[in-house]
Amino acid sequence: MVSMSLLDTRDRPLRDLRISVTDRCNFRCRYCMPREVFGPDYAFLNRAEILTYEEIVRLARVFVELGVEKIRLTGGEPLVRRGLDELIGQLSGIEGLRDLTLTTNGSLLRAQAPRLKAAGLTRITISLDSMDEAVFQRMNDAGVSVATVLDGIDAAAEAGLQPIKINAVVQKGVNDHTIVDLARHFRGSGHIVRFIEFMDVGSTNGWRMNDVVTAREIVERVGAEFPLEPAEANYRGEVAQRWRYTDGGGEIGVIASISQPFCGDCTRARLSAEGELYTCLFASKGQDFRALLRGGASDEELREAVARVWRVRDDRYSEIRTEETAGLRKVEMSHIGG
Ligand code: SF4
């Protein structure tokens, strides 16, 4: 019997599971799914290759039995997969699961937010990289407007999917000149903008260290306009550093994987849509659980298999990152979610 206190080689518990339900997306964000790679001829996973909702729920139950408290649904774009509310309904019934959230580009939320909330989704993270129409369209490369995503954010708020976090990847020379506008737009709204340092995820986004605007620079720029003070983390392993507006206008977050790595507290595992288990966002290889599921493995065997992977985990990519490691072949973020 696998004990609940499952730790990896750096004494990090397994607390968070990110589940990618599809490798497809209706956006082509340059830093994640550049169109020249993910074009019309790209071989996305077909229906038989991706895990069914029943298989996802069975695996999720095993992870919760091993200590997972929070599940985040991701993609690609999770809302492009049909019947997602059914999956959410089943996951939200898992005993011991404390938090069920989702990351989306927001473009399909107006139609789906009430169903997701009714099914049991607790909160949501929506990506919006800029309020500047031309900049945003250049970044998402799919002709989707800022207004469409803002309407999705409103739909999520109306449905009660609060608090809402807004993720913005900051790239030097692309959208960094618009970050203060983004902060200004959401100040006082209760929504929390989290600025993310541009990362060398996958092997297709042309990442260079020179294109990174560090967390310190981001805080300085926003703070110059709206004074900020550091705020306590909500829990150990929280990814974003919290900064509160000194005038009570709310807070922002910064995710500093490049300049201030946080691997020491990383409690996250990632499951790809075809059932590969990854123990780091920057991994190059995963462990196949689809074969186990479809090969008749018992729940105990699945628990043992997850525990075997986690016990030998020693990932700390962000602590050892160099311009050279950035060029290594790594799993694409659109394959395992951010
Ligand atoms: S680089 Fe890997 S180990 Fe470090 S925080 Fe990110 S996912 Fe966790």
Confidence at residue 3, expressed as pLDDT on a 0 to 100 scale: 53
Residue 278 in contact with ligand 1 by CB distance below 6 A: no
Look at 62-76, 107-121, 236-250, 316-330 and tell me which has the smallest mean pLDDT. Answer: 316-330
Q: What angle do CA 254, 256, 261 make, to 5 degrees?
A: 145
In this structure, the residue with its CA closest to atom 7 of ligand 1 is 280
Tell which one of 239, 316, 320, 321 to mutate to probe ligand 1, the residue whose CB is within 8 A of the most ligand atoms.
Answer: 316
The total of structural domains in the chain comes to 1
In this structure, the residue with its CA closest to atom 5 of ligand 1 is 263
CATH number for the domain including 147? 3.20.20.70
4 domain-assigned? no
pLDDT score of 70 more than 80: yes
Range of the domain at 137: 16-336
Residue 313 in contact with ligand 1 by CB distance below 6 A: no
Please state the rounded mean pLDDT for residues 50-59.
Answer: 98
49: region left, alpha or beta (phi > 0 left; psi from -120 to 50 alpha):
alpha
- Tens digits of per-residue pLDDT, 263-289? 999 999 999 999 999 999 999 999 999
Residue 79 in contact with ligand 1 by CB distance below 6 A: no
7 domain-assigned? no
Please state the rounded mean pLDDT for residues 38-55.
Answer: 97
1 domain-assigned? no
25 domain-assigned? yes
In this structure, the residue with its CA closest to atom 2 of ligand 1 is 280
3 domain-assigned? no
Residue 316 in contact with ligand 1 by CB distance below 6 A: yes
11 domain-assigned? no
Question: What is the Å distance from ligand 1's center to 282 Cα?
Answer: 7
Confidence of residue 4 (pLDDT cuts 50, 70, 90): low
Confidence at residue 260, expressed as pLDDT on a 0 to 100 scale: 97
Q: What DSSP element (H or E) covers 134?
A: helix 133-140
Tokens 């397994």 belong to residue:
14
Cα separation of 255 and 183, whole Å? Answer: 15
Residue 262 in contact with ligand 1 by CB distance below 6 A: yes
Tell which one of 281, 314, 321, 333 to mutate to probe ligand 1, the residue whose CB is within 8 A of the most ligand atoms.
Answer: 281
285 domain-assigned? yes
Q: Are 325 and 317 in contact (CB under 8 A)?
A: yes
The radius of gyration of the chain from alpha carbons, rounded to an integer in Å, stands at 19
Give the helix, strand, coil percentages of the chain, each rounded to 5.
Answer: 35, 20, 50
Residue 226 in contact with ligand 1 by CB distance below 6 A: no
| Those residues with Cβ within 8 angstroms of residue 330's Cβ, 6 or more apart along the chain or in another chain | 200, 201, 202, 203, 282, 283, 284
Residue 265 in contact with ligand 1 by CB distance below 6 A: no
CB atoms within 10 A of CB 45: 17
231 token code pair = 């705020």
Integer angstrom CA distances of residue 328 from 116, 279, 314, 325: 37, 17, 18, 5
10 domain-assigned? no
Beta-bridged to residue 70, according to DSSP, are 16, 99
CB atoms within 10 A of CB 290: 17
Closest residue by Cα to residue 196 from 207, 188, 185, 187: 207
